Structure 1
Amino acid sequence: MFNSRRGGLLAAVCSAGLICGLAAGPAAAETLADAIALAYDSNPTLQAQRASQRALDENYVQARSGYRPSLTASASASYQEIRTPAAARGLSIDTNGDGVPDAAGSGIREANSGSAALSLNQPLYTGGRVAAAVSAAEADILTGRENLRRVETQVLGTVITAYVDTRRDQEALRIRQENVRVLERQLEESKARFDVGEITRTDVAQSESRLAAAVSLFQSSEAQLAISRANYVAAVGQSPGDLAPEPSLAALLPASVDQAFDTAQVDNAQIRAAQYTEQASKARVAGARAERMPTIGLTARLGYTGGASPLDTDLYSRNVTGGATFTLPLFSGGLTSSRVRQTIERNNVDRIGVETARRVVLQNLTQAWSQLTAARANIGSTNTQVRAARIAAEGTRQEQQVGLRTTLDVLNAEQELRSAELAQVSARHDEYVAAASVLAQMGHLQASYLTPNVAHYDPKANFGKLRITWGWVPWEEPIAIVDSVFTPKPVEKPAPRPAPAGQ
């Protein structure tokens, strides 16, 4: 599936790209929009779901075939041989049925025959059975489209998480690497001062201990970055290069959690799928009730019968039959009533499922909004923390030069600065992931919102091609109108679309 540019993914993750990613990158940095566009076109999970949706579209064609005529052809040929025992032949038995006893010496009789027929059936009224199947198929297709949106949201959420994870771990590795460099200089300085008798061996040992711990953390950061890069490859389809800062999602976020929930009730794919599922089961209730209704249809048959060998069409008889059929179920032993009750209860389950989905979305949206609020607060706190820690570290180093601070004080100040910088990076990462989670629960973590200038997959395009396809006949439309009089039709909701620029 992937081209040569995407090959060697594991090697790209685990090789020297870990360190090269911290050095000078290519002239054009890879953006989050680039990663989303690539995943949108090539992610196997998303591609498989689109194929599943196209397969689901065929249910509509199969259901509509109940309005269309069916034509069957049949042909048969037979050979018959009758052998009469010698004892029976002596009794002059009539073996050919012509009323004349056979000759005593005749004991074998052969015969053959052939037939061919064409049969045509055209439903005129199915009591709503086909209409219910068509409505259920349409509702199932609408449910499938929402499931496709849900999978798209999950894939794009994974891409965003992998992208910001990689950037976070790249920045963390840079901080760890800088920490190692600072501690190496501190150790060299400590050794030099120990040589001239300004500090003791204890100070040197403290510097060595902090450097060893820093190297260990640097190696752990390398491993974590390798993991994040592997996750990026799995989601996007290629190894990450020089990643540009992710764009702000503020323009897509609502002002309050109440606005977010109002939007989620309309646009969330999970809620919409549950609603369409309920509509499909309601149509199946109508289909079960339609089993009590009569059916009307037309039949026609053309048949030929004669000898098979030698073939002589002049000796074939022709049979032409045409008629209308009216079928009314009178008694099914309670089977139809049981099916009606069963479909009603299944519809009740699906109706309750809508409320279940709404509550789950409310819960997830509340959690995501709370995480977003906390992350935003943490960003402000960590910014202040980094500024203060940087001033404190610089001041401690200067005070150490005049004998007011010890080596341990300098080491502690450096450790606090690196911890503050790592907390700042994590806070920014958490804020972006939480913002993406809010958009996901709102139903707006879609390619149409994140990459509006890129061509997007339209599941309606395939369905439109199937509306009139092989097997369609013009008279099925009036038949469908009559058949669907008492059948509920699914109500399609407008697909979520980003507001035009400037609104």
Structure 2
Amino acid sequence: MSNNLRGHLLAAVFSAGFVAAAAAPACSETLSDAVALAYETNPTLQAQRATQRALDENYVQARSGWRPTLNLQLVATYDQTRVPRAASSFFVPAGIRESNTGSVALTFNQPIWTGGRTSAAVTAAQGDVLQGRENLRRLEGQVMQAVIQAYEDVRRDQEALAIRQEDLGVLQKQLEESRARFDVGEITRTDVAQSEARLAAAQALLQSSQAQLAISRSNYAALVGQNPGQLAPEPSLAYLLPGNVDDAFAVAEKYSPQLRAQLFAEQASRARVAGARAERMPRLDLQASGRFLNGPVDPFTQSLFTRDVTVSGVVTVPLFNGGLTSSRIRQSIERNNADKITIETQRRAVLQAITQGWNQLVAARANIGSNTEQVRAAEISLEGTRQEQQVGLRTTLDILNADVELRNAQLSLVVARHDEYVGAASVLVAMGRLEARDLIPTVPQYSAGANFRRLRITLGWVPWEEAIAIVDRAIAVPPIPLSHDLPVEKAIPPGLQPPPAPAYVSPPRR
């Protein structure tokens, strides 16, 4: 979709979000369509993926501490010395003397052992990358949850608008009937006024419903990237939900991206503690330098140029830096302590989110049953009240009240169904199961690890890098901790499927 077309669509949402559904495409839009489009085009999600790719580069930059460096230096010098006659002497005659020199030099440096500094930096970078992947999972789940919320909001408001429109039509007929009965003297002016008042209130509620639908449509378009059409009924999320809240807690303990991100953050800060302590260790570097064409440039005389090559092993032992290293060690230790404590904070936050979502889900399911029964009873009550009015046992006000009760029950049922689905999504996002691979497995999935694997061998990699890495990590004091990944839950089939069509029942034979 082009930017101009998308802009026109978004503008249409804000100005005319309550356009009748007849203007929508003939084909219904499903929740899986909305999720797939948001997964591919949502700018927040795309920006987080770019952020993760940038974070992957920290791993390459950390490994560069094991790689050689090579520098080329070109130097050209012109020197002019003027000695005035007053300052001249036998040894320094008066006059102008000019000279020029040029040199070309190559400098090579290969770390042999960094005392564990580079190993700690690599481990910390790995922890940061793993934490970033979990943050990407968390944001993906939040985007999926927001899309589901927006989808359900639009469906709720569309159904609410249909109920308001139906109510308005019923009240208009009721007003016409009341006026006709008033004309023949069956009812009083008060009955007509009551019908007029209820009709005016219904018109105001209809306008409010139109405005709310426009707001929900704009939220949907901002997330998905296009206006909602005629939205199909939402598929079930039961295949992702556990049987009870305890199972939800157990899944979240293993796979919640919020909790796992903090575990990886603690791994990275623990490696930085080892890196700070490694600053006290000596290091060994192999250095080589060569200077070529070192001599006068003009006039160029090759025989006057000197050449020298130097190869040396350099051991650097830190002795005293004013307490800077000790301060950095203490600082890194306290940051690691904070990360350890925050693990429990995140665990409690995840359990709180699951508890709140599960209770919302249970309450909404109970409300669906109660509201369904309320709608059934209100329909019977309204029909009975109309029949009783015809024989003079009920008044116009009784019919109007019965109609209000029916519409309120219908709206409550719509809201309960909306809340039940949104509650299920909130439980799943806290568990770490509301991901594209679980919702839309047939859509090509973005792999954060693919970019990281491509960076494993890039420009700057040298064959002896692995051997140096093994030596650097093996004899580091204190030992450098390793950053380890955590198992990932397998995708759960079958994904979002349209609800089954109602079974066809043949009409009875006569």
For normalisation by structure 2, the TM-score amounts to 0.94
Matching residue's letter, 2:142: Q
2:51 is paired with a residue of what secondary structure? helix
Cα distance in 1 for residues equivalent to 2:270 and 2:405:
63
1:488 aligns with 2:481: yes
Displacement of 1:334: 2.2
- Cα distance between partner residues in 2 of 1:12 and 1:484: 61
CA shift at 1:498, angstroms?
2.0
Secondary structure at 2:355's aligned position in 1?
helix
Contact 1:7 1:238 in 2 (8 A): no
Amino acid at match of 2:469: A
Aligned runs of 1:95-494 on 2, under 5 Å?
Answer: 95=92, 102=93, 106-304=94-292, 305-485=294-474, 486-494=479-487
Give, as a single letter, the amino acid of the residue that structure 2 aligns with 1:476: E
Which AA in structure 1 matches 2:407?
R
The alpha carbon displacement at 1:154 in A equals 1.1
Distance in structure 2 (CA, Å) of the matches to 1:395 and 1:16: 40
Specify the alignment match of 2:500 in structure 1.
none
Q: 1:26 to 1:500 in 2, by over 3 A?
A: closer
Note the C-alpha offset of 1:15: 5.3
Following superposition, the deviation at residue 494 of structure 1 comes to: 2.0
What amino acid is aligned across from residue 82 of structure 1 in structure 2? T
In structure 2, do the counterparts of structure 1 residues 85 and 25 end up closer, same or farther at CA, with 3 Å as the change threshold?
closer
Q: Is the 8 A contact 2:63 2:118 kept in 1?
A: yes
Tell me how far apart the structure 2 counterparts of residues 317 and 496 of structure 1 sit (CA, whole Å). Answer: 66
In 2, Cα distance between equivalents of 1:408 and 1:280: 71
Instruction: Output the CA distance in 1 between the equivalents of 2:291 and 2:10.
Output: 68
Would you say the 8 A contact 2:438–2:492 is kept in 1? Answer: no
Aligned length, in residue pairs:
490
Distance 1:15 1:31 in 2: 24
Q: Considering only aligned residues, what root-mean-square deviation do their CA atoms show, in Å?
A: 1.5
Deviation digits for residues 336-391 of structure 1, max 9, x if unmatched? 12211111111000011111000111111111111111000000000000000001
1:128 Cα deviation after fit: 0.4
* Conserved 8 A contact 1:2-1:42: no
- Aligned 8 A contact 2:127 2:483 in 1: yes
CA distance in structure 2 between the aligned counterparts of 1:489 and 1:84, rounded to whole angstroms = 67
Q: What CA distance in whole angstroms lies between the structure 2 residues aligned with 1:385 and 1:398?
A: 20
Distance in 1 between the 2:429 and 2:446 partners? 19
Q: Give the whole-Å Cα distance in 2 for the aligned partners of 1:121 and 1:461.
A: 32
AA matched with 2:97 = R
Q: Which amino acid aligns with 1:489?
A: L
- Partners of 1:437 and 1:50 lie apart in 2 by 23
Letter in 2 for 1:161: Q
Quickly say closer, same or farther: Cα 1:16–1:62, change in 2 above 3 A: closer
- AA paired with 1:383? T
1:53 is aligned to: 52
d(CA) in 2 for partners of 1:415 and 1:148? 47
The DSSP-based 3-state class of the residue aligned with 1:49 is helix
- Give the distance between the partners of 2:90 and 2:251, measured in 1 at CA: 92
**1:17, 1:438 → 2: CA distance?**
30
Give the distance between the partners of 2:28 and 2:317, measured in 1 at CA.
Answer: 72
Deviation (angstroms), 1:482: 1.4
Q: What secondary structure does 1:81 align onto?
A: strand
Amino acid at match of 1:322: V
| Equivalent position SS for 2:13 | helix
Q: Which consecutive unaligned segments of at least 5 residues does structure 1 have?
A: 96-101
Identity of paired residues, percent? 64
Letter in 1 for 2:404: Q
Aligned partners of 1:271 and 1:354 also within 8 Å: yes
Tell me, in whole angstroms, the C-alpha distance in 1 between the residues paired with 2:253 and 2:2: 37
Instruction: Give the counterpart letter for 1:6 in structure 2.
Output: R
Per-residue deviation, 1:450: 0.9
CA–CA distance in structure 2, aligned partners of residues 111 and 334 of structure 1: 48
Q: For the residues of structure 2 that align with 1:413 and 1:123, how far apart are their CA atoms?
A: 86
8 Å CA contact 1:168, 1:429 repeated in 2 = yes
Contact 2:17–2:213 at 8 Å: present in 1 too?
no
Q: Distance in 1 between matches of 2:468 and 2:2?
A: 48
How far did residue 497 of structure 1 move? 2.5
1:88 equivalenced with 2:121 (yes/no): no
> Secondary structure at 2:239's aligned position in 1?
helix
Residue deviations 1:20-60, cap 9 Å, x none?
21x37533210000000000000000000000000000001
CA deviation string 1:46-77 (max 9, x = no partner): 00000000000000110111100000011211
The 1-side partners of 2:492 and 2:188 are apart by 68
Residue pair 1:2, 1:237 contacting (<8 A) in 2 also:
no
SS at match of 1:300: strand
After TM superposition, the score normalised by the length of structure 1 is 0.95
Which residue type is aligned with residue 20 of structure 2? Answer: C
Counterpart amino acid of residue 462 in structure 2: V
Match of 1:10 in 2: 10
Q: Report the 3-state secondary structure (helix = DSSP H, G, I; strand = E; otherwise coil) of the residue aligned with 1:484.
A: helix
Structure 1, 429-438 or 25-34: larger mean CA deviation: 25-34
SS in structure 1 at match of 2:327: helix
- Equivalent residues of 2:73, 2:105 under 8 A apart: yes
Match of 1:99 in 2: none
The corresponding residue for 1:98 is none
